[in-house]
């Protein structure tokens, strides 16, 4: 293992922000894989996953010098500054690094961070980004592939996670890291899981296992793991978004990963002053809860749950 400072950004009063990379195997060999941890300073699950991965790879490489067959680079996070303040985005201007790609080395600070990260990561066969969802939800672990990555969707199965979401591309996606990896011909995947601000070890460890499985299947490491799931393809229309019709205290009755049936109560919303039950949210379909709103006060018309509809099961070939 080689521990490197990939780049630095200085600050007026803080110590410089140092972005560290942990390199395994031999630089410049194939197959190669880069794994980038969270850009958002509250994605603690993802920091856990990335750091545990460094630990795992280091221990095995120490025991067996040929453990890593190509090259693996792990960058646990590019944003220690925000982690150290409990902030999602860049401390000074609240910009999201993940909307700055491919970056611009003569531009704004976060464009420069993006440019430097991109330069260090755009030359790998496989590129994996660890993300928490940016909205107020917790979700089961899933692989996300952009529409432009449909040609390598089969590779996403190597993670062995239950669901592979195909994301419809919007103008906002053109400035994301995974989109730009795609443009540079890496097979790019986002692994999304958990909930911001808290360590969900159970979900996080599933993602960790998925990455190890992927590295095994892609012959990047000399190791064996259990088979995972075959992977269900989830297209944008396969998700049912279930909204609250009332605002108030949100009392959830169902968990992420639960199988639910049409008509099943999922949550209750109570008036936050007089305690009146104002809505019982009912599942409109059969399926599995992939995402749940994660805050106990809910707005009217907020998305309370996302359910992968059972009828989408036919997508799996």
Q: Which residues bind other proteins (CB under 8 A)?
A: 9-12, 88-89, 92-94, 99, 106-112, 134-136, 170-172, 174-175, 241, 243, 246-249, 272-273, 297-303
What is the layout of strands, in order, in the sheet containing 265-270?
Answer: 277-282, 265-270, 248-252, 297-298
Q: Which is nearer to other proteins, 235 or 249 (CB)?
A: 249
Helix (H, G, I), strand (E, B) or coil at 145: strand
Helix H or strand E encompassing 261: none
Nearer to other proteins, 184 or 299 (CB): 299
Task: Locate 237 and state its tokens.
Answer: 């229309």
**Which lies closer to other proteins via its Cβ, residue 1 or residue 278?**
278
Nearer to other proteins, 6 or 9 (CB): 9
CB 144 within 8 A of CB 130: no
Question: What minimum distance in Å lies between the beta carbon of 92 and other proteins?
Answer: 6
C-alpha 213/C-alpha 208 separation (Å) is 9
In the complex, the smallest distance separating the C-beta of residue 118 from other proteins, rounded to whole angstroms, is 15
| Rounded least distance, CB 143 to other proteins, Å | 22
Q: Where are the alpha helices (DSSP H) in 148-297?
A: 177-183, 201-217
33, 27, 24, 22: which is closest to 125 by C-alpha?
Answer: 33
- What's the CA gap between 255 and 244, in Å, rounded? 16
CB of 30 to other proteins, least distance (A): 32
Residue 71 or 131: the one with the smaller Cβ distance to other proteins is 131
Cβ at position 56, least distance to other proteins in Å: 33
């Amino acid at each position: 293992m080689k521990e490197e400072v990939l780049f630095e950004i200085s600050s007026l009063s803080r110590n410089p922000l140092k972005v560290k990379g942990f390199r395994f195997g031999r630089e410049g060999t194939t197959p190669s894989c880069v794994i980038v941890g969270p850009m958002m300073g509250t994605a603690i699950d993802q920091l856990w996953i990335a750091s545990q991965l460094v630990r795992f790879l280091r221990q095995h490489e120490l025991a067996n010098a040929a453990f890593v067959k190509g090259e693996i680079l792990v960058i646990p996070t590019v944003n220690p500054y925000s982690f150290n303040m409990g902030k999602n985005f860049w401390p000074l201007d609240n910009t999201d690094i993940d909307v700055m790609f491919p970056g611009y080395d003569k531009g704004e600070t976060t464009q420069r961070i993006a440019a430097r990260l991109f330069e260090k990561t755009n030359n790998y066969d496989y590129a994996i980004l660890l993300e928490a969802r940016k909205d107020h939800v917790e979700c089961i672990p899933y692989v996300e592939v952009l529409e432009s990555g449909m040609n390598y969707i089969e590779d996403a199965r190597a993670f062995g996670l239950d669901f592979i979401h195909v994301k419809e591309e919007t103008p906002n996606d053109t400035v994301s890291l995974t989109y730009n990896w795609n443009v540079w011909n890496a097979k790019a995947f986002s692994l999304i899981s958990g909930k911001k601000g808290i360590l969900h070890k159970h979900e996080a460890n599933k993602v960790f296992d998925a990455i190890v499985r992927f590295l095994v299947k892609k012959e990047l490491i000399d190791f064996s793991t259990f088979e995972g799931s075959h992977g269900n393809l989830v297209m944008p229309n396969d998700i049912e978004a279930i909204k609250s019709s009332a605002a108030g205290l949100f009392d959830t009755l169902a968990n992420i990963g639960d199988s639910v049936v049409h008509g099943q109560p999922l949550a209750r919303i109570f008036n936050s002053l007089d305690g009146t039950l104002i809505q019982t949210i009912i599942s409109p379909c059969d399926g599995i809860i992939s995402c749940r709103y994660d805050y106990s006060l809910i707005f009217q018309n907020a998305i309370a749950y996302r359910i992968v509809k059972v009828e989408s099961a036919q997508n799996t070939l």
